[in-house]
Amino acid sequence: MTDSLSTSYEVEVEEKINLIALGNQEVGKTSFILRYINNSFRKVYLSTMGIDMQIKNITLPENKIYKIFFYDTAGEERFKSISFNVLKYSDGIVLMYDITNKKSFDSISGWMESIKESKGDNFPVVLVGNKSDLNEKREVTKEEGKKLANNYKIYFFETSNKIGTNVEECCSKLINKILEKKDKLRKSDTKSYRLSRSVHIKKKKKNCQC
């Protein structure tokens, strides 16, 4: 996947993709998004209040340009209802915990229940164990992360916003999964349309009194 530095609305966009980052407060959602969008990192960020959003254009094979809208959500309990309202319109989710914070990992099951209630099963989700550069403070093993992801049948990455480890790879995997799902839906809709049209034509011929 090749990134375009331009975020101009003048670029002819093939399709828009809505991503959302979910997870407890201070797991690193904001810095993850900014690392992906701008390839930048700041040590200190203000806590997100409600919802924030960043935009990036990416160029995929065959020179198709997609505009990525990446929504950053607050992890505080009082803002969860806002996060879930945005969730309704998302195409894919980065569900994040902090490998140095066991509580954030234990909260993943609750987030997944909310995702299933809103989006159903088989929705594109990637589980992210963030802050892998702080390995000496680790409270959640990589094996625990993998096992949980396997239980939910979703992708898993450990990432570092500070170093940039796996941030691009994680988002690329999620976007590819989203596009695969969209392609299947388009093919299914086309097949259904052809079938209904075929049935309609046959009925019309049957009713013909020629």
Helix (H, G, I), strand (E, B) or coil at 111: helix
The range of the structural domain enclosing residue 149 comes to 2-207
- What CATH number did the domain enclosing 128 receive? 3.40.50.300
DSSP state of 95: E
Q: Given pLDDT bands bounded at 50, 70 and 90, which one contains residue 186?
A: confident
Longest CA span, the chain: 84
Give the end-to-end CA distance of the chain in Å, rounded to a whole number.
58
The predicted pLDDT at position 14 comes to 72
Of the pLDDT bands very low, low, confident and very high (cuts 50, 70, 90), residue 76 is low
In angstroms, rounded to a whole number, what is the distance separating the alpha carbons of residues 29 and 32?
A: 5
Whole-number Å distance between alpha carbons of 77 and 175? 28
Summarize the confidence of residues 62-87 as an average pLDDT: 74
Sorted by sequence, the CB contacts under 8 Å of residue 107 that are 6+ apart come out as 23, 24, 97
The answer to whether 90 and 19 are in contact (CB under 8 A) is yes
Nearest-angstrom CA–CA distance, 76 and 70? 19
Confidence of residue 47 (pLDDT cuts 50, 70, 90): low
**pLDDT for 177 beyond 70:** yes
| Residue 2: predicted pLDDT | 44
Cα dihedral value 98, 101, 103, 106, nearest 10: 50
Q: What is the model's pTM?
A: 0.79
* Bridge partners, residue 194, by sequence: none
What is the structure's pLDDT at 62? Answer: 74
Distance CA 169, CA 176 (A): 11
Question: What is the count of structural domains for the chain?
Answer: 1
Rg (CA), the chain: 20
Nearest alpha carbon to residue 48 among 60, 65, 69, 32: 32
Mean pLDDT of 74-100: 77
* Whole-number pLDDT of residue 86: 75
Q: Given phi > 0 = left and psi -120 to 50 = alpha, else beta, which region is 26?
A: left
